[in-house]
A and B are shown apart, each in its own frame.
Chain A
Amino acid sequence: MITLEHIYILSGAFLAFYAVLSARDRTNPKRFGNAAFWGLLAASFLFGSHLSDFANGLVAIALIAAGGLGLMHKGAAATTSEAARRESAQAHGNWLFAPVLIVPLVALAGTLFLKNSGLADPKQATLVFLGLGTVIALGICYAWLRPPFLAPLEEGRRLIDTIGWTAVLPQMLASLGAVFALGGVGGAVGTLATHYLPLGTPFAAVVFYSLGMAALTAVMGNAFAAFPVMTAGIGLPLIVHRFGGDPVAMSAIGMLSGFCGTLTTPMAANFNLVPAALLELPDRNAVIKAQLPTALLLLAANTGLMAALVYRF
């Protein structure tokens, strides 16, 4: 049976290749910094499940040092010229889209039809089939386009170097969230909110719950982390118990206020900062800026929606 662990090992193997190819790239003045960074991340994927928590922590600290202290520089991976690409696009036509679509199709078909077939761990079926889809698409590309053997890995390195150390930010922020939880940050926010906010009317309680979900999500980078804090602090004691609001409508709509917060914050790196790097945008907050008007309008509308619905059912 294929499990998430196998997919981690495949990811780790790709990363290890990126490390070796980076080390060989003499055009990059900081090639060993890149090699160390991708090598450490490869180690985390290959061996992370067997290392102690403390050892995993040391790997994370080493990654922070390599990425945070300017030891990396974008390499020059071997690729094709723009003219060659235009010519190839003409020659291959719309078939070029097929391998891109194979990956999600395998993930979808696998999740729908093969979830309990014993081929993949049913708990992580989508991720496992996503990995399988990648392998299948890569095999088809080798057979059809006959690229040099290392070409997919060189191209993968080209893209991962475009992202650079931003690639580990989502994992790092998730880990910071865990440290916040260990340090009792959630409880402190709840105490603060209930002591200092004017929550005397049903309407005010809804407004502070909704806006608080967005603000706390923006700070923690994750609505899942904000939800228990705000719901224990304001939602259940005030909206539900004191003012008699419906907990189901409140929770469901409140979570979506949190998602508005996610659109506004660099702390949600995988949604906001990684795409900016991947799309080679010079302003790392460009995606947040594109989302901000929608996030604010929708937050206002969503707060109004909650105020209108929560005391009615």
Chain B
Amino acid sequence: MWPLLGIAVVVAGFAARLNPLLVIAAAAAATCWAAGLSPHAMIAGFGHAFAESRLVSIAFLALPVIGLLERYGLQERARTLIARLKGATAGRLLLAYFLLRQLAAATGVSFGGQVQMVRPLLAPMAEGAAEAQVGELTPAQRFRLRAHAAAAENIGVFFGEDIFIAIGSILLIKAYLESNHILVEPFALSVWAIPTALLAALIHGTRLLLIDRRLRREKKSSAPKPDSRAP
């Protein structure tokens, strides 16, 4: 059971809110010590995977474009545009994005992303819509809307993409089952992702619409109360 030491280090380190980079280094070292690997083999294994996984960082490539447009008022424009739309609320906007994102992922369309869509457009639009609804936002409300914008992106992709047949997870399942002598067509796997996708749309969609209700309730409770001492 000693190889599990690394997992224990990760759980303890994150729970203690230590710097995640140091937790990762400690967990890697603990795993190698427990498995009897040499430090050289560990550093080489770690380095190989680090270079191989550079493609997860490619999203940062768009930062100069996004930053430059922010310099010229992109976020401000996004807020104005959404505030002018009649009937646009933060919850409805997030719901529309979430469903669109799920649909796009299900059809294999690469659209969206935390860097490309959420920071420059979706988050400021959600804030703009909420401001049009209830006026000035508190920092806590602002942060909550931003977190929900990021969450809508994640949940939309996760529970849409498996309906598309050429996605990594479907191909991984197919390859794994084949190595265990179970032959399966990608299409047969992807249809089983549809019920969960519908449940995700139902559950998360409901929660997104509740955002508006909470904003209204918070406005009501923070509004100045009529003076009860008056005759």
Which residues on A are within 8 Å of B, measured CB to CB? 4, 7-8, 10-11, 14, 44-45, 48-49, 51-61, 63-64, 67-69, 79-80, 84-90, 92-94, 96-97, 99-100, 103-104, 107-108, 111, 124, 126-127, 130-131, 134, 137-138, 141, 145, 147, 151-156, 158-160, 163, 165-180, 182-185, 187-189, 192, 219, 223-224, 227-228, 231, 236, 247-249, 251-253, 255-256, 259, 262-263, 266-267, 269-276, 278-283, 286-287, 289-291, 293-294, 297-298, 301-302, 305, 309
Q: Does B103 belong to the interface (CB within 8 Å)?
A: no
Among B2, B10, B45, B151, find the residue whose CB has the most chain A CB atoms closer than 10 A. B151
Contact B196 A256 (CB under 8 A): yes
When chains A and B are docked, how far (Å) is the Cα of A177 from the Cα of B24? 10
Given pairs A151-B71, A153-B64, A155-B70, 11 additional interface contacts (CB within 8 A): A147-B72, A155-B68, A165-B21, A183-B34, A248-B192, A255-B173, A263-B154, A270-B56, A286-B144, A301-B203, A302-B199
Contact A183 B35 (CB under 8 A): yes
Q: Does B96 belong to the interface (CB within 8 Å)?
A: no
When chains A and B are docked, how far (Å) is the Cα of A202 from the Cα of B184? 23
CB contact list, B176-212 vs A, under 8 A: 176-177, 180, 182, 184, 188-190, 192-193, 195-196, 199-200, 203-204, 207
Given contacts A183-B37, A255-B173, contact A51 B121 (CB under 8 A): no
Nearest-CB distance from A106 to chain B (Å)? 10
Among B63, B81, B117, find the residue whose CB has the most chain A CB atoms closer than 10 A. B63
Secondary structure at chain B's binding surface: helix, strand, loop or mixed?
Answer: helix
Q: Which of A175, A223, A279 contacts B150 (CB 8 A)?
A: A279
The 4 closest A-B pairs by CB, nearest first: A155-B67, A57-B47, A89-B73, A56-B47
Smallest CB gap from A55: residue in B: B47
Interface size on B, residues (CB 8 A): 113
Contact A252 B64 (CB under 8 A): no
Residues of B within 8 A of A170 (CB): 53, 56-57
Stretch at the interface among B85-93, B105-113, B129-137, B217-225: B105-113
Q: Does B54 belong to the interface (CB within 8 Å)?
A: yes
Given contacts A57-B47, A60-B47, A184-B3, contact A256 B162 (CB under 8 A): yes
Contact A276 B150 (CB under 8 A): yes
When chains A and B are docked, how far (Å) is the Cα of A58 from the Cα of B51? 11
Contact B72 A89 (CB under 8 A): yes
When chains A and B are docked, how far (Å) is the Cα of A14 from the Cα of B115? 16
Residues of A within 8 A of B203 (CB): 294, 297-298, 301
